[in-house]
Amino acid sequence: MASIELPTEARRLETFGLSDPPSWPQRSTALNRIAYAAVHVVNDPLAPGDPYHRTAVDWDATMAFRRHIWDLGLGVAEAMDTAQRGMGMDWPASRELIERTLAEARSYDGEALVGCGTGTDQLVPDASTTVDDVIAAYEEQCAAVEAAGGRIVLMASRALAACAQSTDDYARVYGRILSQVKEPVIIHWLGDMFDPALTGYWGHSDLSAATDVCLAILTDNAANVDGIKVSVLDAQVEIDMRRRLPEGVRMYTGDDFNFAELIAGDEHGYSDALLGIFDAIAPAASVALGALADGDLETYHDILAPTVPLGRHIFKAPTQYYKTGVVFMAYLNGLQDHFTLVGGQESARSLLHLCELFRLADAARLLSDPDLAVARMKAVLAVNGIGTES
């Protein structure tokens, strides 16, 4: 059994013995939930220039990760916040990412579901930004995604949050954009724990009042809305909203703390999924969703139960830095060759955070090759001045 000496909060090393390697199937059975993994981008660590001020993507490794997700029967939610949208990836880079992923999907031998994030991040909001500017920015990005053959995930707008004077401004913007789309879209409500610039979205800081505004907009535009992704890390808010959705509008959980119970649902309904945590737990998620489709709720919960503590750790406050943990998981599992992020954000989490992530990933049986994971964890420890022995 592989083992490693890991530091603790008590500032000492303790031996940690890893579990036996998992044996997840490579491809899931048919699913009865729509399940998107919001996926990360792979940085190019050999690109010249200051990593804090330039975007450099390893396109081959990034596309390989998308094939990995499709191989497991999951969809790809592209150019979302997991892909460091607005935190290292600007609109030109994100547009190229979307176009490359859609081309990759067309060449993939099998089903390759893709949703494409569209927003207003080409705008840098200031005192002169208007609602018309927001509409124009959304229109530009939606047109680009539709021209590339993609389906739209309409992301929350920092610029709209900054310039809106009332809930009427939200209704005007969403009504205008939704009246123009070629096919129904997924609305993306990202809470301020993921992005503080979205505080007060829908015109209210109170979640109940914000929900009412959002539901009114969904009702007015239901024919052009496939569903809404809610990422506010409050299961009851999502359940209450799910029960009030217009007929035909889906709930896509974005709750990386409570996803297992929300996807399973209750007698009143369930949530589909569009989750950043699925990037990190894709093999387990695929098998669990297959069990759910087969009516085996016990196996579904048995598989996902140990992934919930991992998700809560990766997405702990400050939540916007969860991308560091997601990429660390990919590195430990050999899905990329290095632990670096666009914008140098590998430094956004502490070494102790990464060590606890390692322990929780093992408990969830999500370290595919324990010997490789140990070797890579040792490399990270060594960079931080800690030598270990097996």
- pLDDT tens for 141-170 read 999 999 999 999 999 999 999 999 999 999
Distance in angstroms between the alpha carbons of the first and the last residue of the chain:
10
Residue type, position 248, single letter: G
- As a whole number, mean pLDDT of residues 8-37 equals 88
What is the percentage of the chain residues whose pLDDT exceeds 90?
94
Residue type, position 142, single letter: C
- As a whole number, mean pLDDT of residues 116-133 equals 96
pTM value? 0.95
pLDDT band at 72 (very low <50, low <70, confident <90, very high): very high
pLDDT in tens, 197-233: 999 999 999 999 999 999 999 999 999 999 999 999 9
Rounded Cα distance, 272 and 132, in Å: 33
Check pLDDT > 60 for residue 78.
yes
- As a whole number, mean pLDDT of residues 291-305 equals 95
- As a whole number, mean pLDDT of residues 285-303 equals 95
How does the average pLDDT of the chain come out, rounded? Answer: 95
- How much is the CA Rg of the chain, to the nearest whole Å? 21
| Phi and psi based region of residue 78 (left: phi greater than 0; alpha: psi -120 to 50; beta: remaining) | beta
pLDDT band at 22 (very low <50, low <70, confident <90, very high): confident
pLDDT band at 390 (very low <50, low <70, confident <90, very high): very low
Rounded Cα distance, 386 and 384, in Å: 6
For 188, the token pair is: 């993306």
Which residues make Cβ contacts (< 8 Å) with residue 339, sequence separation at least 6? 327, 328, 331, 346, 376, 380
Contact 323, 87 (CB under 8 A): yes
Please report where in the chains the tokens 């009042």 appear, as a residue: 209
Check pLDDT > 90 for residue 7.
yes
Rounded Cα distance, 333 and 342, in Å: 19
Map out the domains of the chain with their CATH numbers.
27-350 (3.20.20.70)
- As a whole number, mean pLDDT of residues 240-262 equals 97
| pLDDT for position 388 | 47
- As a whole number, mean pLDDT of residues 98-124 equals 97
When comparing pLDDT for 68 and 49, which is higher?
68
> Which residues make beta-bridge pairs with 279?
none
Closest CA to 7 of 363, 307, 367, 350: 350
What is the percentage of the chain residues whose pLDDT exceeds 70?
98
Full 3-state SS string of the chain = CCEEEEECCCCCEEEEECCCCCCCCCCCCCCCCCEEEECCCCECCCCCCCCCCCCCECHHHHHHHHHHHHHCCCEEEECCHHHCECCCECHHHHHHHHHHHHHHHHHCCCCCCEEEEECCCCCCCCCCCCHHHHHHHHHHHHHHHHHCCCEEEECCCHHHHHHCCCHHHHHHHHHHHHCCCCCCEEEEEECCCCCHHHCCHHHCCCHHHHHHHHHHHHHHCHHHEEEEEEECCCHHHHHHHHCCCCCCCEEEECCCCCHHHHHHCECCECCEEEECHHHHHHHHHHHHHHHHHCCCHHHHHHHHCCHHHHHHHHCCCCHHHHHHHHHHHHHHCCCCCCCCCHHHHHHHCCHHHHHHHHHHHHHCCCCCCHHHHHHHHHHHHHHCCCCCCC
Check pLDDT > 70 for residue 389.
no
HSE (side-chain half, CA atoms, 13 Å) at 61: 20
- As a whole number, mean pLDDT of residues 326-330 equals 98
pLDDT band at 26 (very low <50, low <70, confident <90, very high): low
For 200, the token pair is: 């007060």
For 271, the token pair is: 């949530």
When comparing pLDDT for 174 and 53, which is higher?
174
